[in-house]
Amino acid sequence: MPLTTAIPTLDCWKTAPSIDTLRSLYDASAHQWQDNLARLGQLHDYQLLFESQVVRNCLSHLDQTSQILDCGVGTGAFSLALLDSIDQPAHVSGVDISYPMLTHAQQILENRCTTLDLRWGDIKSLPFADKSFDAVIFAHVLEHMAEPEATLREMVRVLKPGAPLIGSVTRKGLGQVLMSLRWQNRGYASNQLDSFLQAAGLEAMRSFDYGTGWSKWMCIATIGVKPKIEIKGVSI
């Protein structure tokens, strides 16, 4: 009888890592994070994502007064790609659990936006009022959340009606399983993301593949829009 080796299933992610575990992982990687993103081509892939027509349409309302929130801002790479895709600077806020990551984000973003407000914190409990932001973005944080729908609802809470939520997540698959050995992340399929965004109260959901590079095989982009509230025929 031939020997067999146990191979982890694609659904083997069972327990979300603690915030202390995540903080330690990202604190230790902060000094090389931006270089790693560049090496993998993700900085370029993020730029292409925000330059795509579907994303540009969602962000066409942004101007110099607009407020943008990056949940799990890291070194600021996702925010930087957004800022490079619009015609003017905007007000950017960011939340992250890693102080070293926030330090790098400060250095990268401080000269690229109108104002910059970076805070240490947990995106499951955002330190902002309801309906504060004209766009909320996130990159590769949902994979660490034990309750992704609840996390998305918290992001939607701070969105203004009619504003978009734009994110990037790790694709469910063998590559994600191998990554999870170090980063303790789960992966998602497009239909799962659409279901989560709908459950969080968004409409016009769309999850789609990146076009090129490493991200084409390992990542999925997702967009949803917070509905406008109709009171006596007036949108607010």
Q: Is the pLDDT of residue 231 over 90?
A: no
Give a yes or no: residue 5 inside a domain.
no
pTM of the predicted model as reported, rounded to 2 decimal places:
0.87
State the pLDDT at residue 175: 53
Give a yes or no: residue 14 inside a domain.
no
Q: Which of 19-23, 99-103, 118-122 has the lowest mean pLDDT?
A: 19-23
Give a yes or no: residue 122 inside a domain.
yes
Domain range for 153 is 19-235
C-alpha–C-alpha distance, residues 67 and 99, integer Å: 22
Give a yes or no: residue 2 inside a domain.
no
Give a yes or no: residue 193 inside a domain.
yes
- Burial pattern 178-201, b for ≥16 Cβ within 10 A else e, equals ebbeebbbbbbebebbbebbeebb
Give a yes or no: residue 129 inside a domain.
yes
Residue 41 belongs to a domain with what CATH number? 3.40.50.150
State the pLDDT at residue 58: 93
The H or E element spanning position 223 is strand 219-225
Which tens digits make up the pLDDT trace of 63-108?
Answer: 999 999 999 999 999 999 999 999 889 999 999 999 999 999 999 9
Give a yes or no: residue 11 inside a domain.
no
Give a yes or no: residue 136 inside a domain.
yes
State the pLDDT at residue 8: 37
Domain count across the chain? 1
Q: Is the pLDDT of residue 181 over 60?
A: no
Residue of 71 and 186 predicted with greater confidence: 71
